[in-house]
Amino acid sequence: MTAAATPTAVATLLPTTTVGSFPKPPSLLEARRKVARKQMDGAELQALERRATEEWIRRQEELDIDILVDGEMYRGDMVAFFADQMDGFEIAGLVRSYGNRYYPKPVVVRPVGRRGPLTVDWFRFAQGLTPRPVKGMLTGPYTIAEWSFNEYYPSRRELVMELARAIHDEAIDLERAGARYIQIDEPAIHTRPDEDFELAVEAMDVVTRGLNAYTVTHVCYGDVPKIYPAMLRLAVNQIDLALKNDEFALLETFRSPRFTKDIGLGVLDAHSHRAESPDEIVDGIRRTLDVIPAAQIYVSPDCGLKTRTIDETVAKLGAMVEGTRRVRRELGA
């Protein structure tokens, strides 16, 4: 396993980053199908996953993105990946998530917990490829619970809190491995805003307790105004949000009360095949600067880009970086 590098500091204004997932090359997708049919062994698959990870690290460096991700070449679904490696889960059949996309539904049948580190080796491998910081990437306890069937715990709260303790341990291990940025994805966090949003807040307190790393939660699409300003109590440094998808309408929500955390500013529509222009990126950042100070803004796509093609992803990210550079120059940075 490649040793993790000591990442250089990110000192620029408006740092650029991404949400986490990138498209897999066709050769890797075919390899995953072969493994499922027992036509290829796991060692061959992992070699292809490592190669694809390195390719995405190099692309991000060439694009001059500031804070990198490993691209999640070794993951399928963001919840099933964790459930498959943890105690307490069985994987049921496929469930439709949106459109014609399906994911394997985890079922909690025993006490949940880690058998050992889940993502640390992949983080070390990716960080060992570059001097730029690579984010540690986790799925949050609230989302794992929401997107699983619970057939063991007497209450939803007990499941979420037990998962929070497991994800906390993983975050601690990532920090010890050198992660200076740790993202906890919670796209389901606004699913039950009137019922148990406080549970989501409590769980995040557990996940990030004692961490010195810069922490991010990605909330993704949904009815964000229903959880604002309550979401500002989430125990993270940054809340990453999709703004391009609704042409930055969320900014009006953030005028009052003021958005007090750093924001991961989604400026690329992850559901669109069209590559945005640098001018669109400039416009989105300028509009945001009218509401949120530049020192609180990180620039990113709306969501993970794994459903786009490699060419589409590179074109979108290239526009994001170029548009951000233009705004930096305007600000004298």
Distance CA 66, CA 76 (A): 25
**With DSSP H G I counted as helix, E B as strand and the rest as coil, what are the percentages for the chain, rounded to 5?**
40, 20, 40
Q: What are phi and psi of 141, to 5 degrees?
A: -65, -35
Other Cβ atoms less than 10 A from the Cβ of 253: the count is 14
pTM for the complete prediction?
0.94
Q: In Å, how far are 23, 56, 168, 263, 317 from 314, measured between CA atoms?
A: 10, 10, 33, 23, 5
So where are the chain's domains? 64-330
DSSP category for residue 245: G
Q: What pLDDT, on the 0 to 100 scale, is given for residue 220?
A: 82
Q: Which CATH number fits domain 64-330: 3.20.20.210, 1.10.357.10, 3.40.50.720, 1.10.3300.10?
A: 3.20.20.210
How confident is the model at residue 255, as a pLDDT?
A: 95
pLDDT of residue 98: 55
Centre a 10 Å sphere on the Cβ of residue 76 and count the other Cβ atoms it contains.
15
Strands lying side by side in the sheet with 149-150: 86-98, 101-114, 149-150
The predicted pLDDT at position 11 comes to: 64
User: What distance in Å separates the CA atoms of residue 187 and residue 217, rounded to the nearest whole number?
Assistant: 9
pLDDT < 50 positions in the chain: none
